[in-house]
Amino acid sequence: MHVDDWSFYAGKPVLITGGCGFIGSNLALSLVAAGARVTLLDSMIPDYGGNLHNIAPIAEHVRLNISDLRDPHATEYLVRDQEVIFNLAGQVSHIDSMRDPVTDLEINAKAQLKLLETCRRVNPGARIVLTGTRQIYGRPRYTPVDEEHPVEPVDVNGVNCVAGEWYHLLYHKVYGLPAVILRLTNTYGPRQLLKHNRQGFIGWFVRLVCEDREIQIYGDGGQQRDLNYVSDVVRAILLAGQNERAVGRVYNLAGDTPISLKDLTEAMIRIAGRGRYTLVPWPEEKKRIDIGSIWCSYARIKEELGWQPLVGLEEGLEKTFKYYTNNLEKYLGPVDI
């Protein structure tokens, strides 16, 4: 039986960029529970994932700093004296990256490069854990996708995320910064953005189910994906922050078994006890950049850090819908509270 030990973090100063977002806030809850001294950096850009309700349970136990990773002066001040930097801030909408590609570059590439330059100058010993995305693999040449799979991004966001990753690896190789890369797959659970449908399908499907509105699935719904419940992703991030073996490494996260979008939607509807769906033809512009079925392998992180997902889809969806049943209005926007 696997038991995680987070005592490494007790009393340690740590920074979470994107700390009010979906994964950042869940991570913050765990770090506060572990006794870390937690600073949250979040830009609170309205269309992004930051939501003060996410951190309500720990509001008295963290230092909240609203600033943008693109602001080099604020970032430099916050980076000093941290022992671990959990670098989660990003523009994560593929759609937005095509509508406003330069902003995506500014956040996902340029601000990352500046953060690393800052760390090199003022805090080169801080562990940096970057949460990347398996989306950079593009249309998979084989499944499950391992870390040796070529990266072939299919949108501007993917290109900039690759650049952001590679800067981290380069600053490790050339300057010795102890950076770790996690490539996340589809993550779901409490505290996810539901305000709009431009940050991936899962949050949006959850919202439509909660509101008993019709989900539209493109094609026959046979495209397969793997999923991770957010607490499993948080465990991987914590392991990456404390394990010496992780330094300079790239790890995929992944689910245990892929599931088709149709089966996933049916599971959501069954567990939530509401919602419905219909199959609709592929819109031409979406079909053009669709990557088909994809799922990844977590063999490397299991071997090296002892991580594997512990929360199955049934349990994860139950927790997810329970959370949103009690908190839905906090996630409907447009104004964050």
Site for a copy of itself in 67-106 (CB under 8 A): 98, 101-102, 105-106
As to burial, measured by CB atoms within 10 angstroms (0-12 exposed, 13-18 middle, 19+ buried), residue 335 is: exposed
In the complex with a copy of itself, the residue whose CB is nearer, 71 or 263, is 71
| One-letter amino acid for residue 218 of the chain | Y
CB of 105 to a copy of itself, least distance (A): 6
Q: Which residue, 229 or 251, is less far from a copy of itself as judged by CB? A: 251
Q: Does 3 bind a copy of itself (CB under 8 A)?
A: no
Closest of 97, 40, 103 to residue 66, by C-alpha: 40
Q: Which is nearer to a copy of itself, 161 or 217 (CB)?
A: 161
Residue 156 sits in the site that holds a copy of itself (CB under 8 A) = yes
| Closest distance of CB 289 from a copy of itself, Å | 7
Say how far apart CA 247 and CA 229 lie, in whole Å: 24
Q: Go through the chain and tell me how many residues it has.
A: 337
- Helix, strand, coil percentages in the chain from 3-state DSSP, rounded to 5: 45, 15, 35
Question: CB 157 → a copy of itself: shortest distance, Å?
Answer: 10
Distance, in Å, from the CA atom of 320 to the CA atom of 190, rounded to the nearest integer, reads: 5
Of the candidates 232, 240, 315, the one whose C-alpha atom is nearest the C-alpha of residue 271 is 315
Per CB under 8 A, the segment of 108-116, 196-204, 211-219, 224-232 that binds a copy of itself is 108-116
Residue 30 amino acid letter: S
Of 44, 267, 279, 289, the residue at the interface with a copy of itself (CB under 8 A) is 289
Tell me if 42 contacts a copy of itself by CB under 8 A. Answer: no
* Residue closest to 337 by CA, chosen among 18, 20, 17: 20
Q: Which residues bind a copy of itself (CB under 8 A)?
A: 98, 101-102, 105-106, 109-110, 113-114, 117, 150, 153-156, 159-160, 162-163, 166-167, 170, 173-174, 288-289
